[in-house]
Amino acid sequence: MVTVHALPPTTDDRAPLKVSVVVPLYNTGQTLLHGLRSLRAQTMAPTDYEIVYVDDGSTDDTVELLRADIAAHGPVPAVRLLQIENSGWPGRPRNIGTDAARGEYVHYVDDDDWLAPEALERLYARARETDADIVIGRMAGHGRGAPRALFEKPLASSDLRTETVLLGSMTVHKLFRRSFLDRHQLRFAEGRVRLEDHLFTLRAYLLTSRVATVHDYTCYHWVRHTSGQHNISHRPIEPWSYVESVRRVLALLDAPDTRVAPGRHHRRLTANWYGQKALTRLIGRRQLRQPARRRAQWFNAVRALADEIPPAADAALPPRLRVVAALVRHGDRHALERYAAFEATIDHQPEVLSSAWQDGKLTVRCRSRLVRRNPAGIAPEALLFTRSHDRYVLCLPPEVAAVPAAVSAADFTKEILRSKVRGQLQHREGGTALIVPTTSRLLAEPVRRNSARWLHTLGRFGRLGRVVGRLRAPSWLLGRLPMLRELPEQCTISYEAEFTVDPAQHDQGGPLAPGSWDLQLRLVCCGWRTSPSLRGLSIDMPAATQPYDAPAATPS
């Protein structure tokens, strides 16, 4: 039996509170004091909220530091410390904290994260205004990516059963109505269960149609520390148990109280976890660096899951992952690893064409092309597609193109045409990312036919094609070969974009926060998402906002 220890309450236990902030702790050390200072600095009246820390059997000085800090400050806001035997994961500490919470709403915060000063006040006001069961505050990432699209406009009654925008935020760093949690017996999985936040959040989303956002103020600062030593769930990932957690998440889509009707939306939700949490484990530079034995374990675990996923769900995957799914179902690990190595080099290369200030606004024209990175010192080369009858098919490595299903999956036409290229502002000091309305157009440029560029295409025509490709025949001769005249045209893909930033009202009608804002070009294309900075462009906002012609534009 676990014994729960607590410091004496610092306020009347019977006093009603608006919000309880629940924070699991484990070997956090000095970092916890930064988060605690942010919680004490809230603009919400100190008597209206409490902070509940639950220590999961720390073995360092975390508890002593917290005890000393509590003793050094007054009784408000109330700060309570609960101590439990080590469970090894955040689930049990969060459950213990929720049971002890006295607030009308509960907000979960990780021990190494922090809240902006107005966060609790704004989140609570939004909850009361919209009668929401869940309120998500705008997030900033520090050393990690944070949701963007979710906060482009205000949401008052979002529902995961009819839309997918909520999939952008599956962590538990949100405000939850306490009675909603109690009514549905919403609990965190205890023990070392991967994706425990997804299990909790997905079930919560499917049990309500009232999810709201605070879109115009950055509430939550999400931090990734390089060491990860004080992160409760920072452990090496075991492939089979991780994939089992993916199964548990997917099972919620068919559970009695959270069932999603069969059809297109169910397939989209299935594809989200199958793709983002399973298939992505088979590609990327991080995966390629793992030992061969480990890569084989991941392949076998994901392939077993693929056997349980309806093939129709593959169509809802981003194109880059449709190719992975085809190779997994085909069972060819060698071809998959060849694709992983190929895909890991894909990037986009932005170029500023012009930038000018006028009437206090900065207008930027830029271009970005899809490329494949080469080793250091060698310029990137364009990513090639074949184009025929207005269809765009990614040119795959020969070993991958030998799998017919992979070639079919490499038809990226719809997503190429729907790609989103947008300007973005990134606050260098605060981490907030703001999307800029952008106009863009697709540019597909044909590539001159020559033996080097057509080598991998010729490989699709069997042994004869590979022999002809190795001959390095002159382009005039290749152009006269009947088979080549019938080949689809090869092309490169790039986008031209233009956007205007008004620093005086770009943050949801208000001015940009003081500090430096880097201009970036964000590309969401076929499952690739990148936001490189536009070299030489940033906006420096003064500490005090006042009339001006234009903020200083400095190199980033």
DSSP assignment of 461-515 equals GHHHHHHHHHTT--HHHHTTSHHHHTSPEEEEEEEEEEEEE-TTTTBTTBPPPSE
Q: What is the rounded average pLDDT for all residues in the chain? A: 88
* Calpha distance 235→196 (Å, rounded): 14
Average pLDDT score over residue span 5-34: 79
* Calpha distance 491→212 (Å, rounded): 44
**3-state secondary structure at position 196:** helix
List helix spans (H) across 331-439.
333-343, 398-401, 404-409, 413-418
* Calpha distance 328→295 (Å, rounded): 13
Question: Is 554 a residue whose pLDDT tops 60?
Answer: no
- What are the Cα distances from residue 13, in Å, to 10, 46, 49, 368? 8, 15, 12, 59
**Residue type at position 244:** E
Residue (of 148, 141, 159) closest to 215 by Cα position: 148
Question: Is 45 a residue whose pLDDT tops 70?
Answer: yes
The verdict on pTM exceeding 0.95 is no
Percent of the chain scoring above 90 in pLDDT = 77
* Calpha distance 527→343 (Å, rounded): 11
Confidence tier at 389 by pLDDT (50, 70, 90)? confident
Domain at 5-223, CATH homologous superfamily: Spore Coat Polysaccharide Biosynthesis Protein SpsA; Chain A (3.90.550.10)
Average pLDDT score over residue span 65-82: 91
Average pLDDT score over residue span 247-269: 97
pLDDT tens, residue by residue, 430-449:
999 999 999 999 999 999 75
Whether omega for the bond prior to residue 319 falls within 30 degrees of 0, making it cis, is: no
| pLDDT for residue 13 | 56
DSSP string, 263-286: SHHHHHHHHHHIIIIIGGGGSSHH
Structure tokens at 51: 């902070």
Domain residue spans of the chain: 5-223, 239-343, 346-553
Average pLDDT score over residue span 193-197: 94
**Residue type at position 392:** Y
pLDDT, greater one: 485 or 409: 409
Confidence tier at 543 by pLDDT (50, 70, 90)? confident
* Calpha distance 269→253 (Å, rounded): 8
Number of continuous H segments (helices) and E segments (strands) in the chain: 19, 22
Q: In angstroms, what is the C-alpha Rg of the chain?
A: 26
